[in-house]
C-alpha cells in the first residue's frame, strides 16, 4: 500500500526528487526516527503499535493537497500531527491503514502588538507562541496550556486551556481566523470556509474536517505580576474545601491542586499536595480574596512571589525564569510510558472519596501516579 501511495505522489509532484525530502516510508533509513520524533508517550513506540504507511513532512501549503488526493485514492486514513502530546496517540496511531501529515515545518509565529493578534502555524508549539509574544510585549499573553512542547494544532482545535482559563476562557475562545485545506485540497480562511466549519474546528477536533495550516488568535492583556503558591498541610480537609470555593473565586485567580505519593525523610509514605496558583494582580488584593474565600489555606505574604506572565509560564514548566530560550525547544526530554485521562466532576468528591484515593495511591503500581484538579468557573462558569 505504501508503494502505491508513493507512486501516486510521484505522479502528482511530477518527479521523485521533489518529494524525497518530505516523504518517509518504512523503506527509508530515517523513517523510524522521523516517526518517533514527536511521540510523547513511549507506549506507542512498541512493535505492536500500528505504523503509518507514510510519514509526510510538507514544507509548503501547496504540497498538502497532493498528499490528501493520494490518500483518498488509496483509501488511506489521514492523521494530522502537530505536537504529538495527545494522550492516546491519535495523531500518529490508527487501526486502519493510514498516513501522517506532520506539520512540523509549519511553525512560523507572527505577532502584531498594535492589533493584539498573532498568526500561528499549526506545527508551532505553545512554547514558541509564548516566546514570540514575550519578545514583543511584556503586557500581552495568550490563554493556552502548561507544557511548552504541546503543538498548537491539537491544543487549539481540541479546546485548550491553562492558567488564564477563568478570566479569558479556552484557547479557542480567542481564535479569530484559520487557514484550512479541505478534503478536496482547497485552502480556505474563515470567510470562505463559512461560520459552521469555523465553529466546528474551534473545539470539535480540527483534523476531523481538514488539515489546519495556521490559526489567527487574539492576544489578551495581563498585568505585570503573577502569584504562585505551593503547600503541603492538612491535605484531605483542604482539598475537600477547595472544591466548594475555587470555582467562585475572582476570575483573576486560578488555583489548582496537584497531588501524588511521596516519601518523607524518615522513609514513611505520604500524599504530597501542592496548591498551585496564578493571580493576575497585586499581593494585597490576592491576600484579601484568600482571607475572605479560603482562609483555611493560611496564605501569607511570604508565600507569594511576583513575576511577569512569561516568567510564570517558565516557572510552571520547571525552567529558570530568566531565559526564554527553553520555550523554543520542541523536544520533550522526560518522555516515558504513561496512561492519561481527563474528566469533569459535576459533584464535589466527599472526604471518604479522597481517603479511598489515598489508599489506591499507596498501592505498588501507583508509585508514579499523579492527580490534578482544576477549577473552571470565572468566564466559563
What distance in Å separates the CA atoms of residue 93 and residue 101, rounded to the nearest whole number?
A: 12
Query: Stretch 228-239: mean pLDDT, rounded?
Result: 65
Contact 260, 344 (CB under 8 A): no
CATH hierarchy code of domain 235-333+343-380: 3.40.462.20
The pLDDT value recorded for residue 24 is 87
Q: Is the per-residue pLDDT at 321 higher than 80? A: yes
Using alpha carbons, select from 214, 229, 226, 225 the residue that is nearest to residue 297. Answer: 229
When comparing pLDDT for 302 and 119, which is higher?
119
Q: Tell me whether domains 109-221 and 235-333+343-380 share a fold.
A: no
* Extents of the domains making up the chain: 2-102, 109-221, 235-333+343-380
In which band, very low, low, confident or very high, does the pLDDT at 230 lie, cut at 50, 70 and 90? Answer: very low
Q: Return the CATH fold of 109-221.
A: 3.30.465
In which band, very low, low, confident or very high, does the pLDDT at 265 lie, cut at 50, 70 and 90? Answer: confident
Neighbouring C-beta atoms of residue 278, cutoff 10 Å:
25
Least confident of 75-79, 233-237, 376-380: 376-380
In which band, very low, low, confident or very high, does the pLDDT at 229 lie, cut at 50, 70 and 90? Answer: very low
CATH 3.30.43.10 for domain 2-102: yes
CA 259 remoteness from chain centre: 20
How high is the mean pLDDT of the chain? 87
Q: Is the per-residue pLDDT at 16 higher than 70? A: no
For 256, what's the count of Cα atoms within 13 Å in the CB-facing half-sphere?
17
Contact 125, 144 (CB under 8 A): no
Q: Look up the pTM and report it.
A: 0.86
Amino acid at each position: 500500500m505504501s508503494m502505491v501511495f508513493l507512486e501516486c505522489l510521484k505522479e502528482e509532484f511530477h518527479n521523485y526528487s521533489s518529494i524525497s525530502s518530505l516523504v518517509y516510508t518504512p523503506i527509508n533509513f530515517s523513517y523510524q526516527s522521523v516517526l518517533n520524533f514527536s511521540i510523547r508517550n513511549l507506549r506507542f513506540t512498541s512493535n505492536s503499535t500500528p505504523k503509518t504507511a507514510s510519514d509526510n513532512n510538507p514544507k509548503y501549503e501547496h504540497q498538502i493537497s497532493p498528499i490528501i488526493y493520494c490518500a483518498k485514492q488509496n483509501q488511506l486514513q489521514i492523521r494530522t500531527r502537530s505536537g504529538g502530546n495527545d494522550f492516546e496517540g491519535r495523531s500518529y496511531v490508527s487501526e486502519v491503514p493510514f498516513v501522517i501529515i506532520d506539520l512540523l515545518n509549519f511553525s512560523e509565529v507572527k505577532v502584531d502588538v498594535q492589533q493584539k493578534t498573532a498568526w500561528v502555524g499549526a506545527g508551532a508549539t505553545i512554547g514558541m507562541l509564548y516566546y514570540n509574544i514575550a519578545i514583543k510585549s511584556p503586557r500581552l499573553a495568550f490563554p493556552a496550556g502548561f507544557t511548552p512542547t504541546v503543538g498548537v494544532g491539537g491544543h487549539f482545535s481540541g479546546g485548550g486551556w491553562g492558567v488564564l482559563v477563568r478570566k479569558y476562557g479556552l484557547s479557542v475562545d480567542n481564535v479569530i481566523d484559520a487557514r484550512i485545506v479541505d478534503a478536496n485540497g482547497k485552502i480556505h480562511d474563515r470567510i470562505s470556509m463559512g461560520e459552521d466549519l469555523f465553529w466546528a474546528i474551534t473545539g470539535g477536533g480540527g483534523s476531523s474536517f481538514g488539515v489546519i495550516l495556521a490559526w489567527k488568535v487574539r492576544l489578551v492583556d495581563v498585568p505585570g505580576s503573577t502569584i504562585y503558591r505551593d503547600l503541603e498541610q492538612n491535605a484531605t480537609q483542604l482539598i475537600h474545601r477547595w472544591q466548594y470555593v475555587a470555582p467562585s473565586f475572582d476570575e483573576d485567580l486560578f488555583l489548582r491542586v496537584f497531588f501524588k505519593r511521596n516519601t518523607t525523610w524518615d522513609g514513611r509514605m505520604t500524599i504530597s499536595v501542592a496548591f498551585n496558583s496564578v493571580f493576575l494582580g497585586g499581593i494585597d488584593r490576592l491576600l484579601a480574596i484568600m482571607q475572605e474565600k479560603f482562609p483555611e489555606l493560611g496564605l501569607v505574604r511570604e508565600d507569594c512571589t511576583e513575576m511577569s506572565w512569561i516568567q510564570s509560564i517558565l516557572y510552571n514548566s520547571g525552567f529558570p525564569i530568566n531565559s526564554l530560550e527553553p520555550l523554543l525547544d520542541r523536544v520533550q526530554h522526560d518522555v516515558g510510558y504513561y496512561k492519561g485521562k481527563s474528566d469533569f466532576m459535576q459533584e464535589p468528591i466527599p472526604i471518604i472519596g479522597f481517603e479511598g484515593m489515598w489508599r489506591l495511591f499507596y498501592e505498588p503500581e501507583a508509585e508514579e501516579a499523579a492527580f490534578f484538579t482544576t477549577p473552571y468557573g470565572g468566564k466559563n462558569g
